[in-house]
Structure 1
Amino acid sequence: MHDQYQGGTIVIRELLHNNLRQYGMVAALLLIMLLFQILTAGTLLKPLNITNLILQNSYILVLAVGMVIVIITGHIDLSVGSIAAFIGAISAILMVQLHVHPFLAVILCLALGALIGAWQGFWVAYVKIPAFIVTLAGMLLFRGLTLVALEGQSIAPFPNAFQQMSSGFIPDFFGGESLHIFSLVIGALLSLIFIYREVKNRNKRMKYDYNVLPQKLFIAKIIALVAVINVFTYILASYKGIPNILVILFVLIAAYTFVMNKTVIGRHIYAVGGNAKAAGLSGVNTKRVTFWVFVNMGVLSALSGMIFAARLDAATPKAGTLFELDAIAASFIGGASAYGGIGTVTGAVVGGLVMGVMNNGMSIIGLGIDWQQAIKGLVLLLAVAFDIFNKNRSS
């Protein structure tokens, strides 16, 4: 019995040590939410405000997914906000002025984002110009092109079908009145899928004699996370249900998490960020990996720009301002290393949520934008300092 307890303690200690940054940020997010729930007298976690949090931060979370991959490879992208603004302007010209069908316009804009990413990726990967310089030039270039395309004025309104991407909700197929029943059903289904995957992964790890959580802790973890899933869907169901943008975010996070954790290209990205020379000697085409990482960033910048334009129902010259800094901050706060080679998609999303909850909570309690910026800057500095501290301690 004592040996079993001691073994469980060792497993927990190893898990905490190996995932300290990720667990730490999840704990920080929960504490920040609890703090602002108290300071806002319960306003933060009201169904309407939770839905607004998702809608307000969706375009930053999309950028954070791409940015963390760029940072993992050891690069940075300062142009994402300007690209988002430029693509938003192009989408408005296509749909509002040229009356192109929204679906076709979205496809064209994503393709244009890929081309922009390929343009920047070429200079970084093949010409070997530092990404900081290339994307700084891109930030200026595409901000200027946005002003040229819009001629200094906003273009609005977008077709309703396009607006629904950012502000629409999944319909309730069960016809619920006070509660959105379909959202509750989705929560139950997600819970079953989560339990199945966790049990399957645990059995697989046990089969190959890997360390796993003790059974009681494993059950407690399952119960806690299933409760979180269902409480979250209940809160959404109490308002209008699951927003369309949340479905897009869920698909993106799941897809990119799978790619980074389970595929060859994901391992190559981590290898390039960890040690590009060693990766090259191991047979990894480092130039091609870097090139496609920037192409991917261009596509996600385009998607972010369209989400923002759809939410605003207008393309404006000021769109995308400081988006790049929010995405970079989300990535670092979520556990990405300033040295490259370390980071996760889910960590970047958690980092983005930390920033989003802080913005929302500080706005509700009436804190000025000046103090908001100062506090966010301090949080970012502490997150990176924590990364440096961990790196020095482990070495």
Structure 2
Amino acid sequence: MGELKEVFSQNIRRFGMVIALIGIAVLFQILTGGILLTPLNITNIVMQNSYIIVLAIGMTLIIITGEIDLSVGSVAAFIGAISAYLMINLDMSVAVAVILSLLAGALIGAWQGFWVAYVNVPAFIVTLAGMLIFRGLTLIVLGGRTLSPFPEGFSTISSDFLPDLLGGGNLHLLTMLLGGLAVIVYLLNELKLRRDYLKYNYNIISFPLFLGKLIAISIIILAFSYILALYAGMPNVLLILLFLIIGYSFYMNNTTTGRHIYAVGGNTHAAQLSGIKTKKVTFWVFVNMGVLSALAGLIFAGRLNAATPQAGNLFELDAIAAAVIGGASLAGGVGTVVGAVIGALIMGVLNNGMSILGIGIDWQQAIKGLVLLTAVALDMISKNKSK
């Protein structure tokens, strides 16, 4: 019990996020009469918040470097408009239009990253200007009107599900199989990490706690897979999210350039003295944010099956809130991809639960603002205590 308390105290922010997510889910499950955690609604939560999760991953990297990006909602809307123009007006193939749209996002990120990294214009000003520029360009491309529908096949990115190749009937067996494979990969990875930590004499938790952790997370993965399998199986967009979460988590934790991002945010001057090309790191983080903003815009447009002038409204605030609630520090140098995903899910469950209860958008925005303020306040209190 003493070791458990010590582990909790050392990871209080991480455990706090998970406990908050579980607590909010349980609360709304009770208030909604059991609707929140039905297979249909859980699938809807994943699909409705997919683009926010994509943005939150990129925003976390931006915040870790000590910067901010206020333009992601406008960039997502602009890329959605560009993709619609290419596919609907120019009759371009879906694959080519998607590739060109992602490249356009990279160019936008490079444009903003250049001003921030090499001209030393504050990111707040650069991305505030970008928010206005790309919102205006969205209106120009669309002519102030909604452009739809997209060609058949484009919406499969964000609205369709993996076909059940195993023919499970009412239970999507392919989803269950993928869940089982995910558990196996997770267990093998955790065992490898523990073996490596023991090899290099790192401090690790006792084997009983380690075993309990493995069992708990494996049960969660299998339960989530089972819930998805009861409805229509795994959404296509969830595969994209899993690829991004695993890929970016590995990149930030296990690569030299990933650690450079933390170093730049932690202490830019010290990072420069140690030989890190801080301007280059900042530049490429903004390029990455541009690509992820473009991807989020494509997912959102595919879900609506339309490009609208109002798309992307307040996406930047949702992305920043998800990253900060997930543990990223606005001072830089702190944050995780998984934390950002948990933060996005907290915001998503709040939105979904309040919508089911019929709470108006006015109160939803006010409550989300209070949640964000509370998360930042707790972060500051925790830092002050550690000092």
TM range (shorter): over 0.9
Moved >4 Å (runs of 4+): none
- 1:177 aligns to what? 169
Report the equivalent of 2:360. Answer: 368
Match of 2:8 in 1: 16
TM alignment of 1:288-307, pairs within 5 A: 288-307=280-299
Percent of residue pairs bearing the same amino acid type: 63
Instruction: Pick which of 318-327 and 360-369 moved more.
Output: 360-369
User: What is the DSSP-based 3-state SS (H/G/I as helix, E as strand, rest coil) of the residue aligned with 1:162?
Assistant: coil
The CA deviation at 1:19 is 2.2
Which residue of the partner structure matches residue 242 of structure 2?
Answer: 250
Cα distance between partner residues in 2 of 1:96 and 1:76: 34
Query: In structure 2, what residue type is equivalent to 1:86?
Result: F
- Residues 151-198 of structure 1, C-alpha deviation per residue, up to 9 Å, x if partnerless? 000110111211000001111011111110110111111111111111
Normalised TM-score (structure 2): 0.98
Work out whether 1:32 is the aligned partner of 2:24.
Answer: yes
What is the distance in 2 between the residues matched to 1:15 and 1:116? 43
Cα distance in 1, alignment partners of residues 333 and 8 from structure 2:
20
Aligned partners of 1:210 and 1:228: how far apart in 2? 27
**Cα distance in structure 2, aligned partners of 1:194 and 1:260:** 18
Correspondence for 1:152: 144
Residue 274 of structure 1 and its aligned partner are, at CA, apart by 0.4
Instruction: Provide structure 1 residue ranges, at least 5 long, that are not aligned to the other structure.
Output: 1-7
Distance 1:367 1:292 in 2: 41
2:322 aligned with 1:330: yes
Match of 1:93 in 2: 85
Task: In structure 2, list runs of 5 or more residues that go unmatched.
Answer: none
2:138, 2:148 → 1: CA distance?
A: 15
Secondary structure at the aligned position of 1:66 is classed as helix
1:222-253 residue CA offsets vs partner (Å, 9 max, x unmatched)? 11111111110000000110000000000001
Distance 2:9 2:117 in 1: 34
Counterpart among 275, 279, 284 of residue 276 in structure 2: 284
**Is 1:355 equivalent to 2:347 in the alignment?**
yes
Aligned counterpart, 1:167: 159
Q: Distance in 1 between matches of 2:194 and 2:66?
A: 33
Cα offset for 1:106?
0.6
Q: Does 1:47 align with 2:34?
A: no
Report the equivalent of 1:212.
204
Which secondary structure state, in structure 2, belongs to the residue aligned with residue 241 of structure 1? coil
Q: CA RMSD in A?
A: 1.0
Task: Work out the CA distance in 1 between the residues paired with 2:234 and 2:140.
Answer: 37
TM-superposed CA distance for 1:13, in Å, is: 4.4
Instruction: Choose 366-375 or 263-272, whichever is displaced more.
Output: 366-375
Partner of 2:71: 79
Secondary structure of 2:144's match?
coil
TM-score for the superposition, normalised by structure 1: 0.96
CA distance in 2, matches of 1:217, 1:191: 18
For 1:122 and 1:359, how far apart are their aligned partners in 2?
36
Q: 1:186 aligns with which of 170, 175, 178?
A: 178
Superposed, which structure 2 residues align to 1:137-148 within 5 Å?
137-148=129-140
